[in-house]
Structure 1
């Protein structure tokens, strides 16, 4: 999301630890549930339990992998089966990936069959340096013309070499905002052409089985995110980063706002794609258990490929003591015992 809407460190925290858990509907939201009557929000709960890979963003280095066990204990012993991290976007050598980042995740993933690895990949360097539109536009044009192909080919080869060939790659996330140099707004047509080029390069890497996740931030932001969509042949998952903001906006309004949660689900369905929620959490409205209940119920109804709760202050509930009521809802929904 844009720097005006959600503050970040100089570089986005690099590591997400994701939990893959079975979420029976009657455990997902103790108390009230969202039932506004939107066509995509059934008022009747699904009759069968819903499996939703779920997660917590807990750190920026190898310690994040080790924290999986701590989150697991906090949740009462729930099984953790999905990992999510971010490539630094400061320079191209980091966008190519490094063994120091991939090694711990590769070992973690190899410990249990079926674990999912999700990687956010910047599309341009100097990712959070506030580059002017003219410079962004020039970078997008160079990318679409093939100037950066080798960087992405190297990334793909390194992922395959680390046995991460089935990773979900979240390319150029939150492109509809202004936080990142890989933003779409300065030139949507070129941005789409560049995405298609990157996907083509990565799909040509021997041994790869990557899936590509197109993830915008919720709402209109700087540009309508459908304008950035590169086409069904180049997208496998349609994601949304959705924090509890702005101040005073309730969950129902987050669902119904223009380019919000309901529009996201409709758009994905129209294109025959599953959804994901790589980033979500508290932000502008403090400790807000009603929002957390609403999001967890939303996931149960719409069955995302995965979802990741951002767990550092002010967004989190495990590593952030400021949100105890929301934490109780999360533990009651995702914990192994099903109790807060």
Structure 2
């Protein structure tokens, strides 16, 4: 989906437990459920704010804007430019670790690239070579170092969104050039990280919504090395309406069904506005879907054009989002 120009984008936002149940494929206006109700689904509300320490600082501002709504999922990315950064070099991890340790029920969600030069426009032939090398264990040590770094920071229960949007066309860690060896490589990374003493990581398999470059089911590496079935889902084709986003091949409904069949929780590491501009109906329906299907966590992407807090181009969507998350609403 949108490129990691989000590295430099500073913004944030979170997402919500507000909801409504779908009836007959159509989504009505969700009821006004106060955030954090004891009888609501156990969903961690999160946001992509910024990849570094500013992301941590903005959590408080976002919570205040939402009327004090609790934000339990902190979400960021490791830069995919060098192996040192993939090993956990960025100092901002210290800030995220302090945020996570401050409350026992918080989740720290970390997107981890599978190769350096992850946005370098590497051709398929070279990607296939890299995947084969990974499947043979060439890069295991980088992920062991990352695991030791996270355990050493006191965040051994980090949710690892490994090789996200692997069914797409762009990232070097894409699956299509060699799906079978890609799955072997994923398995090696998980084994390497789980070999580190003290770890309690959960691994989130998070494709783009839809078929994209390859059916994401062809990239699924196995139940023993996946803990969560995620999906990045923006308001864009394929799927011109929300109902189409639900029912399209490899769409939201197939994600839910696939996760249920494999005994996994779901997640939405990235969602937000995109091709259709300020679309409050999409936001309302996405929040209703979240409320109904109870993902482990979800995280809205909040820089323009996707967001609703620091992007002033989406005022109607912003109002819907804020209403649903405000603890005092209703």
Give TM-score, length-normalised by structure 2: 0.92
Supply the distance in 1 between the matched residues of 2:311 and 2:118 (Cα, whole angstroms).
Answer: 27
Compared with structure 1, are the counterparts of its residues 247 and 148 closer, same or farther at alpha carbon in structure 2 (3 Å cutoff)? closer
Q: Are the equivalent residues in 2 in contact too, given 1:15–1:85 (CA < 8 A)? A: no
**Is residue 261 of structure 1 aligned with residue 252 of structure 2?**
yes
Q: Does structure 2 retain, via aligned residues, the 8 Å contact 1:20–1:82?
A: no
Taking structure 1 as the reference length, the TM-score comes to 0.89
**1:53 corresponds to which of 24, 36, 44:** 44
Q: Distance in 1 between matches of 2:108 and 2:174?
A: 24
SS class of match (1:109): helix
Task: Give the drift of 1:280.
Answer: 0.2
**Match in the other structure for 1:246:** 237
Match of 1:310 in 2: 301
Q: 1:334 aligns with which of 302, 325, 329?
A: 325
What is the SS of the residue equivalent to 2:203? strand
Segments of structure 2 that go 5 or more residues without pairing to the other structure are 34-38
The alpha-carbon deviation at position 37 of structure 1 amounts to: 3.7
What does the per-residue CA deviation read over 1:183-237, in whole Å, with 9 as the maximum and x for residues that have no partner?
0000000000000000011111000000000000000000000000001011000
Q: Is 2:94 the counterpart of 1:103?
A: yes
What residue number does 1:36 align with? 24
Matches within 5 A, 1:134-283: 134-246=125-237, 249-283=240-274
- For residues 90-138 of structure 1, the C-alpha deviation after alignment (integer angstroms, 9 at most, x for no partner) is 1111100125021001111122221110100000110001100111001
Equivalent residue number for residue 122 of structure 2: 131
Q: What residue in structure 2 maps to residue 324 of structure 1?
A: 315
Kindly state the Cα deviation for residue 82 of structure 1 after the two structures are TM-superposed.
2.0
1:112: which partner in 2? 103
Q: Which has the higher contact order (CA 8 A, sep 6+)?
A: 2
Distance in 1 of aligned mates of 2:279 and 2:327: 22
Greater mean deviation of Cα atoms: 90-99 or 177-186: 90-99
- In 1, Cα distance between the equivalents of 2:62 and 2:147? 30
What secondary structure, in the 3-state scheme, does the structure 1 residue paired with 2:108 have?
strand
The CA deviation at 1:34 is: 4.5
Aligned residue in 2 for 1:301: 292
Aligned to 1:85: 76
Structure 1 residues 286 and 247 mapped into 2: Cα distance closer, same or farther (>3 Å)? farther
**Unaligned runs of at least 5 residues, structure 1:** none
Q: Give 1:337 shift.
A: 1.5
